[in-house]
Structure 1
Amino acid sequence: MATLTFLILFTHSILALRSLRRLHIYGCTQLDASNLHILVNGLKSLETLKLEECRNLFEIPDNINLLSSLRELLLKGTDIESVSASIKHLSKLEKLDLSDCRRLYSLPELPQSIKELYAINCSSLETVMFTLSAVEMLHAYKLHTTFQNCVKLDQHSLSAIGVNAYVNIKKVAYDQFSTIGTNSIKFLGGPVDFIYPGSEVPEWFVYRTTQASVTVDLSSSVPCSKIMGFIFCVIVDQFTSNDNYIGCDCYMETGVGERVTRGHMDNWSSIHACEFFSDHVCLWYDEKCCLKNQECESESIEELMASYNPKISFEFFAKTGSIWEKRIDIMVNGCGVCPVYDTECDNFFKQMELELEMTLQSMATKMSSKEATLAPKQVCKKLIFPHHQIGTWKNATQELKDILFL
């Protein structure tokens, strides 16, 4: 009773602070949706709202959209089951942390402004309404997106996450490439990554394998083009530690069978991750691996190509702890490398029309094969993919959205 009285007094007192920009409430068992509704009504200047381990908070109220200045919404460890669809109207929201919200079962469409989305250990999460609108995907600029250990995500949601990962990572890479050598060069401050449950390297990775290493043959690259950098993918088995890194070694192959290192985990590329309970897809682009941006290298890529065979090998591995040592007991069940070319920067949006059609057809084939194995009461609606002509990217995207969210 004393706690409830204090919360009521606290609520009325804090409403006087209408210019408050940051609010952090931790472990308050009396904070529920009705109290939060009152707080939101009175604190419309908030930029950061941090509510952690508040176990009686089961939902985010509909008036959350009144926080028009909100940039960070951190709900780690709460018992929320759903998030109001009005969150989409928070046009300045950049960071949403839902980690350890183990009762959360659905996530609505989020604002385009989101740069960081953390949904780690959301063990009940089944549905994610990621946008499949061409306009919205191409305006989004996600830096970190993780659905680690969200093992109940349905296939529609996983497919939508995969499509968004493809568009976002390539868009960010091309956008960063286009600023190199100008007065407005963009620095990302680290790798751009997507992590979600899965056991297959996406098909858009030209070079992919079920092993822990892959070789890129530069002699078969796009004619009249230069490789600007690489996008990486690793399929990782279970991790048991919360301090994990996934990285790669890179080698240039010589004409006599020798390999010359082009960097290692300290200065090539790696991403951080907590423990995995099952296989996960880890995708990332690292600006450090942009060949055009490596001014410190004594030799250009063209000079290296003149000295060595036109092949680059990538070896992926995992490690835990503060010691930079590879873990041989953690399985890498597949990997992929996608070279990014300078000429693709200009043609990216046109290429997406054709590649989306291929994605649609691939998804149709996979889902049709799974349909055949469903029990009679579980048979889903038959998917029919009409022919898409070049120039119908917007229509194709809308149809993909309709298919994924039947």
Structure 2
Amino acid sequence: LVDRCKKLEILVSEKHLTSLQKIDISGCSSLREFSLSWDSIEELDLSHTCIEILHSSIGRLSKLRRLDLQGLRLKDLPKEISCLRSLTKLLLSNCNIVTKSKLEAIFDGLESLRRLYLQDCGNLLELPENIDSLSSLYELRLGGSNLKMLPTSIKNVSSLEIMSLDNCKKLGWLPELPPHIKMLSADNCTSLVCVMSLKALLKSMKGVQRYISFKNSMKLDAPSLDRIMEDATLAMKSVAFHNTIAVYDYGYSYSTARVCLPGCRVPRQFKFRTICSSSSITIEPPHLSKTFRLIFSAVVSSSYGMKERDNDAIIKCQSYSEDGRRKLVGNMLIRNHEITDLSMDHVFVWISPFCRIFDKSKVFEFSVTTTTGEHNGFYSLKECGICPIYYSEFPRIAAAMNLDRDLEREIALKLSQMFGSDLNESMQFESESIERD
């Protein structure tokens, strides 16, 4: 490790050191020339140096797992990187040499790559279609790049679960996503107009934490906003039913889901909502008599002073029954980075894995505070809403998700054990309706 050695200018060696596994010369701001051929190296960090030429011999590092080239002003990106069959993490952020053609030349050989960082790559306008050759890719970070679109082949990157597009200010269109996405952040995508589908949210729900954010992406058109919320609501209903297995078996593999979108109204999917900026919802008891779980929504206002605050916020929902009993039925923690710098009102939607309600719940009251319980005016709610999930919906949700038959039967069994004959009758009716449709 010789990181941040400001006077180091040349590091060249022909000696073969068989035990050396890690080289870190990051921040050696005077380093211009580097050439090593030790095939035992597993981690190589050349970030933030003055290296302009990366020798083709790098392709011989057969054991290399992590390669960090962030901030380099390379004259070329050697195609021999594609020979690094063991590489699992490649960091190319803030490298202007990165273009569509350069990436296309290296992607085909990186079958072990799990993490790819391409933030702030100013000359990256598109990703190559062969991105789907990255069969092991789990995390893709593209924030701050000049991407205008993503290739349709992105949906075939079957292992991808985390994708960050924050501050991609030229991105105008988002195609169908891979089947196992669990975190999508597209904050400050100020040119983003169209999002095709988020049905990928419906896959692999067990024990998954879903997070979708389009903070300050103000140009999203109405059809896209509606598609996002329709798919997200269906995903949250799926979360509720999958959690029956964890609840009944006293397990800890709960699933959760949350979404953040620009907007000033609670989505249409929420039948029960506030009007005129009220902070409570009054619901007649019959509406909840066969409710299984609830989905919550709140419109958070970009109140003054939020940029100066350094606090997280909590939105709470409490239920009050006719006999005066009160119970916390759903809350959501909003991290400081999620709520600061909001350029307009935003809609937050979430489902709590521990949500339980009283059959006789009549009033639902929402409030927002800091984590210390302060009501200081820095955060305010403009609208709130709840969307009941009825246990009789399960056959329709299962059909929409194309559930594995064994898993469908397992969930149905847990539901019948929880709700008894009423559920069986409702599910039979729903199943017959689906068959007739």
Moved over 4 A (4+): 1-4, 346-352, 390-394
Match of 1:339 among 377, 383, 388: 388
Distance 1:163 1:212 in 2: 25
Q: 1:76 touches 1:99 (CA, 8 Å); kept in 2?
A: yes
Higher relative contact order (CA 8 A, sep 6+): 1
Deviation at 1:168, TM superposition (A): 1.0
Deviation at 1:236, TM superposition (A): 1.7
**Which structure has the highest helix share of the two?**
1
Deviation at 1:233, TM superposition (A): 0.3
| Gap runs ≥5 in structure 1 | 292-300, 353-389, 395-406
Corresponding residue of 1:238: 302
Match of 1:284 among 327, 344, 350: 350
Q: 1:177 touches 1:228 (CA, 8 Å); kept in 2?
A: no
Corresponding residue of 1:372: none
Corresponding residue of 1:95: 162
Distance change >3 Å, CA 323–CA 219, structure 1 → 2: closer
Corresponding residue of 1:61: 128
Task: Work out which of the two has the higher radius of gyration on C-alpha atoms and give 1 or 2.
Answer: 2
Deviation at 1:246, TM superposition (A): 4.5
Match of 1:197 among 253, 262, 267: 262
Distance 1:56 1:248 in 2: 44
Comparing 203-212 with 106-115, greater Cα deviation is found at 203-212
Deviation at 1:10, TM superposition (A): 5.8
Match of 2:315 among 247, 250, 255: 247
1:219 equivalenced with 2:285 (yes/no): yes
Corresponding residue of 1:5: 53
> Match of 2:301, as an amino acid?
D
Corresponding residue of 2:239: 172
Distance 1:324 1:34 in 2: 53
Q: Deviations over 1:236-263 (max 9, x none)?
A: 22253386434114253564xxx66534
How many matched pairs?
Answer: 329
Deviation at 1:268, TM superposition (A): 4.3
Q: Deviations over 1:271-293 (max 9, x none)?
A: 432332112221100113245xx
Q: What's the TM-score, normalizing by structure 1?
A: 0.71
Q: What's the TM-score, normalizing by structure 2?
A: 0.66
Distance change >3 Å, CA 212–CA 44, structure 1 → 2: farther
Distance 1:129 1:348 in 2: 21
Q: Deviations over 1:122-175 (max 9, x none)?
A: 11111111156xxx6754647111111111111221121121112111111122
Distance change >3 Å, CA 103–CA 235, structure 1 → 2: same
Corresponding residue of 1:270: 333
Distance change >3 Å, CA 52–CA 138, structure 1 → 2: closer
Q: 1:114 touches 1:140 (CA, 8 Å); kept in 2?
A: no
Comparing 158-167 with 28-37, greater Cα deviation is found at 28-37
> Match of 2:316, as an amino acid?
C
RMSD of aligned residue pairs (Cα, Å) = 3.3
Distance 2:346 2:211 in 1: 15
> Match of 1:55, as an amino acid?
G
> Match of 2:118, as an amino acid?
L
Q: 2:76 touches 2:97 (CA, 8 Å); kept in 1?
A: no
Match of 1:20 among 66, 83, 87: 87
> Match of 1:53, as an amino acid?
D
| Gap runs ≥5 in structure 2 | 1-31, 33-49, 55-73, 402-432
Q: 1:269 touches 1:289 (CA, 8 Å); kept in 2?
A: no
Match of 1:45 among 92, 112, 115: 112
Distance 1:212 1:100 in 2: 34
Distance change >3 Å, CA 177–CA 327, structure 1 → 2: farther
Q: Deviations over 1:180-235 (max 9, x none)?
A: 212666313xx411111222212332320133422354622354x3x443211011
> Match of 1:125, as an amino acid?
L
